[in-house]
């Protein structure tokens, strides 16, 4: 009996005592399923016919083993699946008197078992015929345990849930500025100093100077996983068909390391650097030594090295970095990051592993067996595929579960944005890529960043049921979309998760999108010509030059195509031409506040009017106090009065600490 089967042995007996899921609520939906009549009962014993040996042991159960009877009328047969499209493919035939499970590998038998879990009720196993295989080989969830440290028991609980819905990758974000979370024996300062900070909550630590503390000192908060704990977690996950992919950040997001070991930074000063010094040979020795211990713990073929958002502030003035650039024959600091990532990729290859990085790592000198995790635009997926890399799609607009999932005023604090379950479900990976490239996408993944998520209960609230929508995409694919039908299944699964002690969002109580977005608004400036005296940002164009007067209000998310983004000094300055002299009584402009992505209300709002478009009279000018409260909110700044004018100039200055301005409509009455 294999170790993996031990887990399944204990599980089936429990299933027979409950009735968690009705057959019509299978999630993710199999590729082909035909429901039959009746159930297969195990209560009177079964006859087992195993034609494939150890691989089939993954679906043996205590209930069956205890009641195996060679004379029984009901038969459970395990057979080999020929010409399988994937190691996880399987066929399942359930009739009142027989079950036949066919698969090509232990992974396939495990996926069949996970489907049978959902087919099992108090009466027995629902009769059906299923032909199934995954749409993507990488179906992942990322949990950030640096910003807030969660216990091993929480990770095991999520592995149990992930297994039910056929996820196969748990990506753990183990290191970041907020805390180093993995025991590295060669570098003890990572654990007795860099894993501990002066604030239980990330927001408190971030607001009070980002200080680290010695382990055991007064006020020290944090923690790390021992190597033995992580080896046990790896085993636990493997028994449930899940590979754990560790992430060790480099070269950026490394303040905790560079405060513990400042000699690895360009300045050699603690609390001064976020990025490793790529010109320092000690950097490469350190990272290689860390990765050796990581690889000894995690058998995963994939090792994630981060690679995102490196500031590179000191690289241009660092003598060692300049020397390295000269040696490499490069003339910009971006080439230094490419060199460091390439070096680590080759190191991992030499040890039989494959580098995974966020899409910033894309460079022509990485080995072909590199996986790029695309979190920004699809054009980066195109570029990665062009280089020959594997691509996992994880776009922030659909797969960042730290965003609000319902009306922000009704939800705990999140990192801005708005990604409801329906939006996750609507995602089509690579939809704007050519078909040949779309077919080369390796997988999909959702990420739960935890800056604003301090507790396990809140983490589960943000994960589910949105993760179920991603499970559907990852396993079943995207050939057809029917959200009402999916929602019915998701609602049933929410009740099931609650019964298992999970804390999901109550999808049945969902409020939904901002009501202003749902209904066009009529006003005197709709369709008017708008002159941008300061251009909107090219990354947030919304509907272009008609955005501010198209009658369409924005929703909860700044990236929904309704909100137009502006950044820089005096960044919002537009003139509206009404076409002729018009009586006006108010000019109102909607602004968004969302501190996570650094979107803030303006510090000053000004309205001026003119008859000729050249000589303007100021009718309103007011200053506002700036705040960095993270709560997503909206404010309409308005002039009211009585004027006659053809041209209206509206200006706004950014907050006192900079950031973005986002505007959806200028309403003129």
Question: Would you name the residues annotated as active-site residues?
Answer: 176, 253, 309
State how far the Cα of 557 lies from the Cα of 536, in Å rounded to an integer: 17
Q: What are the residues whose beta carbons fall under 8 Å from the beta carbon of 55, sequence distance 6 or more?
A: 78, 103, 105, 106, 108, 109
Other CB atoms within a 10 A radius of the CB of residue 292 amount to 13
Buried b vs exposed e over 202-211: b needs ≥16 C-beta within 10 Å? beebeeeebe
> What would you report as the CA-atom Rg of the chain, rounded to the nearest whole angstrom?
28
In 3D space, the residue among 80, 88, 81 whose CA is nearest the CA of residue 30 turns out to be: 88
Report CA 346 to chain centroid distance, whole Å. Answer: 27
Tokens of 136: 């993507």
Tokens of 22: 């009705």
Q: Check whether the bond before 339 is cis (ω within 30° of 0).
A: no
CA dihedral angle for residue 533, residue 538, residue 544, residue 550, rounded to 10 degrees: -80
In 3D space, the residue among 651, 343, 348 whose CA is nearest the CA of residue 361 turns out to be: 343
Going by their DSSP bridges, the two strands 390-393 and 441-448 should be labelled as parallel
Which secondary structure element, helix H or strand E, spans residue 142, and what is its range? strand 138-144
State how far the Cα of 79 lies from the Cα of 90, in Å rounded to an integer: 10
Q: What are the residues whose beta carbons fall under 8 Å from the beta carbon of 592, sequence distance 6 or more?
A: 554, 558, 563, 599, 632, 633, 634, 662, 664
DSSP character for 614?
S
State how far the Cα of 640 lies from the Cα of 111, in Å rounded to an integer: 64
User: How far, CA to CA in Å, does 644 sit from each of 157, 308, 669?
Assistant: 65, 52, 11
User: How far, CA to CA in Å, does 57 sit from each of 51, 98, 393?
Assistant: 11, 18, 34
Tokens of 78: 């395990």
Tokens of 310: 């490196």
DSSP string for residues in 314-341: TTTT-HHHHHHHHHHT--STHHHHHHHH
In 3D space, the residue among 353, 352, 364 whose CA is nearest the CA of residue 305 turns out to be: 353
User: How far, CA to CA in Å, does 200 sit from each of 214, 217, 276, 621?
Assistant: 14, 14, 26, 42
Going by their DSSP bridges, the two strands 660-668 and 564-567 should be labelled as antiparallel
SS3 162: helix
State how far the Cα of 127 lies from the Cα of 239, in Å rounded to an integer: 27
């Amino acid at each position: 009996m294999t170790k993996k089967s031990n887990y399944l042995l204990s599980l089936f007996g429990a299933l027979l005592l409950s009735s968690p899921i009705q057959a019509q609520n299978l999630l993710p939906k199999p590729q082909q399923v035909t429901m039959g009549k009746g159930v297969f009962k195990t209560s009177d014993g079964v006859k087992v016919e195993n034609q494939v040996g150890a691989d089939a042991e993954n679906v043996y159960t205590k209930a069956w083993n205890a009641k195996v009877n060679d004379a029984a009328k009901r038969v459970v047969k395990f057979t080999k699946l020929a010409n399988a499209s994937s190691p996880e493919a399987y066929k399942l035939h359930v009739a009142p008197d027989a079950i036949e499970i066919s698969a090509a590998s232990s992974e396939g038998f495990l996926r069949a078992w996970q489907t049978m879990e959902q087919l099992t009720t108090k009466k027995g196993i629902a009769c059906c015929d299923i032909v199934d295989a995954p749409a993507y080989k990488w179906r992942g969830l990322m949990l950030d345990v640096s910003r807030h440290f969660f216990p091993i028991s929480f990770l095991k609980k999520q592995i149990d849930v992930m297994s039910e819905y056929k996820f196969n990758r748990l990506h753990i974000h183990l290191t970041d500025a907020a805390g180093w979370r993995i025991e590295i024996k060669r570098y003890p300062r990572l654990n007795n100093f860099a894993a501990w900070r002066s604030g239980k909550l990330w927001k408190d630590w971030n607001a009070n100077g980002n200080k680290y503390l010695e382990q055991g000192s007064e006020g020290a908060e944090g923690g790390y996983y021992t190597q033995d704990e992580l080896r046990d977690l790896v085993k636990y996950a493997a028994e449930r068909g899940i590979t754990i992919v560790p992430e060790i950040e480099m070269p950026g997001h490394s303040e905790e390391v560079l405060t513990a070991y400042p000699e690895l930074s360009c300045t050699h000063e603690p609390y001064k650097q976020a990025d490793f010094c790529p010109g320092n040979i000690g950097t490469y020795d350190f990272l290689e030594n860390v990765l050796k211990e990581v690889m000894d713990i995690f058998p995963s073929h994939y090792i994630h090295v981060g690679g995102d958002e490196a500031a590179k502030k000191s690289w241009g003035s660092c003598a060692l970095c300049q020397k390295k650039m000269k040696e490499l024959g490069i003339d910009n600091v971006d080439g230094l990051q490419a060199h460091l990532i390439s070096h680590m990729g080759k190191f991992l290859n030499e040890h039989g592993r494959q580098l995974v990085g966020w899409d910033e790592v894309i460079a022509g000198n990485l080995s072909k067996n590199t996986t790029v995790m695309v979190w920004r635009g699809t054009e980066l997926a195109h570029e990665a595929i062009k280089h020959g890399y594997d691509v996992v799609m994880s776009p922030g607009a659909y797969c960042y579960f730290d965003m609000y999932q319902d009306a922000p005023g009704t939800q705990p604090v999140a990192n801005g944005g708005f990604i409801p379950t329906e939006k996750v479900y609507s995602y089509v990976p690579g939809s704007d890529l050519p078909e040949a490239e779309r077919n080369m996408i390796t997988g999909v993944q959702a990420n739960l960043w935890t800056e604003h998520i301090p507790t396990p209960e809140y983490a589960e609230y943000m994960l589910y049921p949105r993760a179920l929508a991603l499970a559907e995409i990852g396993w079943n694919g995207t050939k057809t979309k029917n959200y009402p039908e999916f929602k019915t299944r998701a609602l049933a699964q929410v009740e099931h998760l609650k019964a298992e002690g999970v804390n999901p969002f109550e999808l049945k109580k969902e409020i939904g999108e901002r009501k202003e977005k749902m209904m066009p608004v009529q006003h005197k400036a709709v369709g008017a010509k708008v002159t941008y005296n300061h251009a909107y940002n090219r990354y947030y164009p919304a509907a272009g030059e008609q955005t501010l007067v198209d009658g369409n209000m924005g929703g909860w998310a700044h990236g929904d195509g309704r909100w137009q983004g502006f950044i820089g000094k005096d960044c919002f300055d537009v003139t509206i031409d009404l076409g002729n002299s018009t009586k006006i009584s108010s000019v109102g402009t909607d602004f968004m506040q969302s501190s996570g992505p650094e979107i803030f209300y303006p510090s000053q709002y000004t309205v001026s009017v003119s008859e000729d478009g050249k000589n303007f009279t100021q009718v309103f000018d007011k200053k506002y106090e700036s705040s960095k409260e993270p709560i997503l909110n909206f404010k309409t700044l308005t002039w009211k009065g009585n004027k006659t004018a053809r041209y209206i100039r509206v200006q706004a200055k950014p907050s006192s600490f900079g950031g973005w301005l986002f505007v959806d409509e200028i309403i003129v009455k």
